[in-house]
Amino acid sequence: MKKVVVFTGAGISAESGLKTFRGQDGLWEGTNIKDVATPAAWKRDRKRVLDFYNQRRKQCIAANPNAAHLAIKKLEEYFDTYVITQNIDDLHERAGSENIIHLHGEICKAQSSLNPKFVYTMQVAEINLGDTCELGSQLRPHVVWFGEEVPNLKKAEELTNQADVFIVVGTSLQVYPAANLLNQTKAGCEVYLIDPNAEEMNVGWQIKRYSMSATVGVPKLVDELTK
Ligand code: APR
């Protein structure tokens, strides 16, 4: 059975109402990364960091998977399918996808600020000052901040290298090491790029571009791959 790997970014959740980072009105337009998404920010102002993720978590909870997430789930009926996502929302999970690797963490989980191995599925929408882990340390979002290790990278690279089909959806490919996955596909792998800006993106000539939104492009490609 062919192995299909789908590599997603914020763009796949845009039509579920969640902001992207670098597009028009993106998250990083209104908020400085250095204030909320680095270990230094956490050291400087924990409450500000917690509030930023509490607000995003509530938006994720209120959002729903869209036709793109659901079409990726459908791939599982035909192929050995894996999702590698940069997104911290749980929309792939809620669409029913089974094999998901989160490269940048999961907003609906909390982790110990003392030992990153202590991770907890959250039952509530907020993490607040004074919420502690079993070691007694302040809980933080289970999110990979800029400058932190990407724990699942090796697994993602191995998977990418085994893919017969590699589908990139909704990522500006500007954040490394995640973006480097595109260079890790094996010879002969069919690579597709689905993004409204696909034509302007600086990717290899052999990549088949679908210059359209995720909810149009992903179902279209899935239909083509499964007919
Ligand atoms: N359908 C498909 N793609 C879309 C849509 C849509 N409806 N709307 C926007 N896009 C595309 C944009 O053209 C852009 O290429 O989604 C991409 C979003 O890029 P970014 O905002 O940079 O998001 P992403 O690539 O996921 O960012 C990577 O950066 O800030 C960090 O940790 C954060 O995981 C994130 C990483």
- pLDDT tens-digit profile of 134-156? 999 999 999 999 999 999 999 99
Domain stop point among 143, 171, 204: 143
The whole-number average pLDDT for the span 42-50 is 98
Q: Which ligand 1 atom is nearest residue 21's CA?
A: 21
Task: Kindly state whether residues 186 and 83 are assigned to the same domain.
Answer: yes
Tell me the C-alpha distance between 109 and 106, whole Å: 6
116 DSSP 8-state letter: T
Tokens 């102002």 belong to: 45
Could you give phi then psi for residue 190, rounded to 5 degrees? -80, 125
Token pair for residue 151?
Answer: 């724990």
Could you tell me if 165 and 211 lie in one domain? yes
Residue 119 pairs in a beta bridge with 111
Identify which of 64, 11, 21, 20 has the alpha carbon closest to the alpha carbon of residue 210. 11
State the distance from the centre of ligand 1 to the C-alpha of 13, rounded, in angstroms: 9
Pocket test for ligand 1, best of 72, 172, 192, 209 (most atoms within 8 A of CB): 172
Q: Which residues line ligand 1 (CB under 6 A)?
A: 9-11, 14-15, 20-23, 26, 86, 104, 170-172, 174-175, 195-197, 213-214
Which residues span the domain enclosing 179? 1-18+65-104+150-227
**Mean pLDDT score of the chain:** 97
Identify the CA nearest to 103 among candidates 183, 204, 171.
Answer: 171
In a shared domain, residues 158 and 189:
yes
Count of structural domains within the chain: 2
Domain boundary among the residues 143, 169, 204 is at: 143
Q: pTM of this prediction? A: 0.98
The number of angstroms, rounded, from the C-alpha of 97 to the middle of its chain's C-alpha atoms is: 13
pLDDT(24) > 90: no
Q: What does the alpha-carbon distance between residue 165 and residue 97 come to, in Å, rounded to a whole number?
A: 17
156 with 206, same domain: the answer is yes
